Structure 1
Amino acid sequence: MSRRSLLRGFGGAAAASLLAAGCGVPAAYVDEGDRAARDLSARDRTLDFANWPLYIDTDDEDARKRPTLDAFRKRTGISVRYTEEINDNDEFFGKISPSLMNHQETGRDLIVVSDWMAARFVRLGWAQEMNRATQPNVTEHLDPQLRSPAFDRGRLHTVPWQSGITGIAYNRRKLGREIRSTNDLWADDLRGKVTLLSGLDESFALLMLGSGVDVTRWKGDDFHALCEKVEGLVKSRHIRRFTGNDYIKDLSTGDVLACQAYSGDVIQLQADNPDIEFVVPEEGAELWAESLLIPNLARHKTNAEKLVDHYYEPEVAAELAAWVNYVCPVPAAQKVLADSGDEELVALAEDPLIFPDTEMRGRLAIARDITAQERQEFAKRWNAIVGL
């Protein structure tokens, strides 16, 4: 099961989100001063944390136990009601947006959504500012490259849970050559053997980078030029299909030889098939994050802030990184793994897909988010191309 989502069409949840984002419902926005509820943290030592499936460490002998959460409870006395209820960004948004739009609590103190969705929460004023004075680990250890995205300058309302790279995966043995550039995907020997991600937010940045676009400041014309290129590749049947996380199966069986892929997925694939390689193209790849935020009217805000800071302690971040295998947003965790004395953990510390080195970081970019005004037009065109 994927730890990354895809945009599942331009249906009800997506349409509702656009409406809330400013297309006819101005009252949806909540001012900063109206976002907090009475904080019950001091007397009620609990919090509700909603996350994606398979996105936290579990005990090797009992999958119901989560060691890093257990350590937090022992350290602070705060119990965490942890639910794996987020399977799709838009679906989850549709689930809790009626409460937030009507200025009601969601029943959740902490959630994890992809940064393009976190941008929507921030624009709407549906995420509370965190108190960094109580989060010294976040202040000290947050990856500098993730500190100030365009949608949340200074990371006042969000904190990365995990990060990752959207690049290219390919079977080097079956292809018989290396892939170094996104443009290598369009070579004749890959006709009908390439897949791209179907989700607009997940796919566009890597493809724009391949065309030499600065994705931190791309424009509408760049998007439409990209669509024209992809339309041509679809018509010529160069692109086999557009996928969600099922690209993993296609790549494993050999039905495709190269595809857009997420770094964390490929690390797991390589354990079974060392012929699978992941590439950060010469012209660049997208660095993304899925972030923690505290929704409006959360009843245990202080407890939630303490849990966020707990995961930014390097030892805790290292334990989580060793399990999920995505880019760790706490670079200091690398030394913890390197000094562990465990051969497998030391290998993870040396893996640039978990701790990117300086050379790789130079090729990673965080794309400008699609604005609320752009989304309806762009999603309609993209979804027509990919068949959503």
Structure 2
Amino acid sequence: MPQLAFSRRAVLRGLGATALPAALAGCGVPAAHVPEDRRGGLDRSERDRTLSFSNWPLYIDTDEEDEERRPTLDAFSERTGIEVRYSEEINDNDEFFGKVSPALMNHQETGHDLVVVSDWMAARFVHLGWAQKMDRSTQSNVDRHLDPQLRSPAFDEGRLHTVPWQSGITGIAYNRRALGREIKSVNDLWQPDLAGRVTLFSGLDESFALLMQGDGVDVTRWTESDFHRMCDRVESMVRKKHIRRFTGNDYTSDLSKGDVLACQAYSGDAIQLQADNPDIEFVVPYEGAELWAESLLVPNLARHKANAEALIDHYYDPEVAAELAASVNYVCPVPAAREVLAGSDDQDTAALAEHPLIFPDDEMRERLVVARDISSAERRSLARRWNAIVGL
């Protein structure tokens, strides 16, 4: 897997360049909400066999000899005759939201048929009524193969408006040899031998769930008092200089260089880190860890909704899902892809079927939960508290 230069779960920076649209969404401005029966437009899919698909960089399989070719997309086009205009234009959730929100607020087309955003941002689209309900009667693979743990997040019950592209785990990565002991609990991060050698994520949405789990909180139904109790602990550790700094995806460099010994980390990054340094371990703490996803959605008034739904279902074919998983190395949202990889003649590919960070086993799954998202009513005050601690 290529080394990533940024976090796909982009940091929430508060009210920055996208202040106006983010603030409107965060406050849930009534005028911005679009009811279900006003989200669809004239679907040109049947006569115009194309679609526009926007994704994050380095988040799809590519041909080893020609990086401009994407085998799974090419296979879809060859089978259906639908040309996919694929772009890697999403570098930050809030930045992309700011780009499309003026059109969506004014009930205009965005030019996007299919996009991938982090689930906390997908929640914003769903709550505002800016994502169309999908026609599951045309998506038999999604209906049959979607990971049960990802089927019904609180922000989109039944996954009517979103479908996971890839999934992942927020846990703890650490250098076991350098530390000289195991880490099994979130609270192990606060031990004296890690003073000044720990980093946490700066993004509110990226960091809060794991830290609250360390306090024994059920993050599927956390409260504001749970959040502030967690902040009190983190604030105390900042005053003691126990936390070295708050990071984006640059935590991988800190850990690789030995500047830190333990940190909040994403499972997909951990696979690359372990390939470069076998002393790096990734742990799902015994209190639990957050299972998250980045999800596909069809924005309002998309011109090629049926084509987009067909592409989504293509990626839920276990054969296709296996090919994608083997390339990007995140948690695969199609458990049936595991058998496909296990049957590969290539030894390295077959070994991926047993990798717990791509296909978590039953014991690990018992400790994985999908956290309740931060509501629009909560976001402003919670972000203010967290950003003050982090220094944003």
**TM-score, normalised via structure 1 length:** 0.98
Q: Secondary structure at the residue paired with 1:81? A: strand
**Within 5 A, what are the aligned runs for 1:311-330?**
311-330=315-334
2-side partners of 1:340 and 1:279: how far apart?
Answer: 28
2:219 corresponds to which of 208, 215, 220: 215
CA distance in 1, matches of 2:12, 2:30: 24
Q: Secondary structure at the match of 1:163?
A: strand
2:351 to 341, 347, 353: 347
> Can you list the C-alpha shifts for 1:23-58, whole angstroms capped at 9, x where unaligned?
5x3111101111111000011100000000110001
Kept in 1: contact 2:25–2:124 (CA 8 A): no
Match of 2:11? 6
- 1:239 corresponds to 2:224: no
> 1:168 maps to what in 2?
172
In 2, Cα distance between equivalents of 1:166 and 1:15: 30
SS of the equivalent of 1:240 reads: strand
CA offset at residue 249 of structure 1? 0.2
Give distance in 2, aligned partners of 1:31 and 1:201: 26
Distance in structure 1 (CA, Å) of the matches to 2:13 and 2:90: 14
- Structure 2 residue 84 is the aligned partner of structure 1 residue 80: yes
Structure 1 SS opposite 2:350: helix
The letter for the 1-side match of 2:213 is: L
State the Cα distance separating 1:15 from its structure 2 match: 5.0
In the TM superposition, what whole-angstrom CA distance separates every residue of 1:271-311 from its partner, at most 9, and x where no partner exists?
A: 11111100000110000000000000000000000000000
1:20 aligns with 2:25: yes
Query: What does residue range 1-388 of structure 1 map to in structure 2 within 5 Å?
Result: 1-2=5-6, 3-23=8-28, 25-388=29-392
Give the superposition deviation at 1:347.
1.3
Q: CA deviation at 1:22?
A: 4.1
2:237 corresponds to which letter in structure 1? L
Counterpart amino acid of residue 175 in structure 2: N
CA distance in structure 2 between the partners assigned to 1:163 and 1:103 by the alignment: 31
Conserved in 2, the CA contact under 8 Å of 1:137 and 1:313?
yes
Residue 147 of structure 1 aligns to which amino acid in structure 2?
A: R
User: Do 1:14 and 1:90's aligned partners in 2 also have CA atoms closer than 8 Å?
Assistant: no
In 2, the alpha carbon distance for the partners of 1:121 and 1:4 equals 16
Runs of 4+ in 1 over 6 A off after TM superposition: none
Contact between 2:77 and 2:83, CA under 8 Å: does it hold in 1? yes
Larger CA deviation: 14-23 vs 32-41: 14-23
Partners of 1:294 and 1:301 within 8 A in 2: yes
**Deviations 1:137-188 (Å, cap 9, x if unpaired)?**
0000000000000000000000000000000000111111110111000010
Helix, strand or coil at the partner of 2:378: helix
Distance in 2, Cα, partners of 1:5 & 1:20: 17
User: Is the 2:153–2:159 Cα contact (8 Å) retained in structure 1?
Assistant: yes
Q: CA deviation at 1:21?
A: 4.3
Instruction: Say whether the 8 Å CA contact 1:18–1:372 is kept in structure 2.
Output: no
In structure 1, give the amino acid aligned to 2:48. Answer: D
The 3-state SS of whatever aligns with 1:226 is helix
SS of 1:189 mapped into structure 2:
helix
User: Cα offset for 1:14?
Assistant: 4.8
Q: Gapped runs of 5+ residues in structure 1? A: none
The question of whether the paired residues in 1 share the 8 Å contact of 2:25 and 2:376 is answered with no
Distance across 2 between alignment mates of 1:22 and 1:172: 44
2 CA distance for matches of 1:370 and 1:351?
Answer: 31
**Post-superposition offset of 1:5:** 1.5
Native 8 Å contact 1:163 1:289 kept in 2: yes
- Give the Cα–Cα distance (whole angstroms) in 2 for the partners of residues 151 and 52 of structure 1: 22
Matching residue's letter, 1:348: L
> How many residues in Structure 1 have an aligned counterpart in Structure 2?
387
Residue by residue over 1:335-382, the C-alpha shift from the partner in whole angstroms, topping out at 9 and shown as x without a partner, is: 000011211111111001000010000000111010000000000110
Secondary structure at 1:287's aligned position in 2? strand
Q: Once the two structures are superposed, what CA deviation does each residue of 1:82-131 show, in whole Å capped at 9, x if it has no partner?
A: 00010111110001000000000000000000001000100000000000
Structure 2: runs of 5+ lacking an equivalent:
none
CA contact (8 A) 1:118 1:291 kept: yes
- Give the match's secondary structure for 1:169: strand
Q: What SS does structure 1 have at the residue aligned with 2:18? A: helix
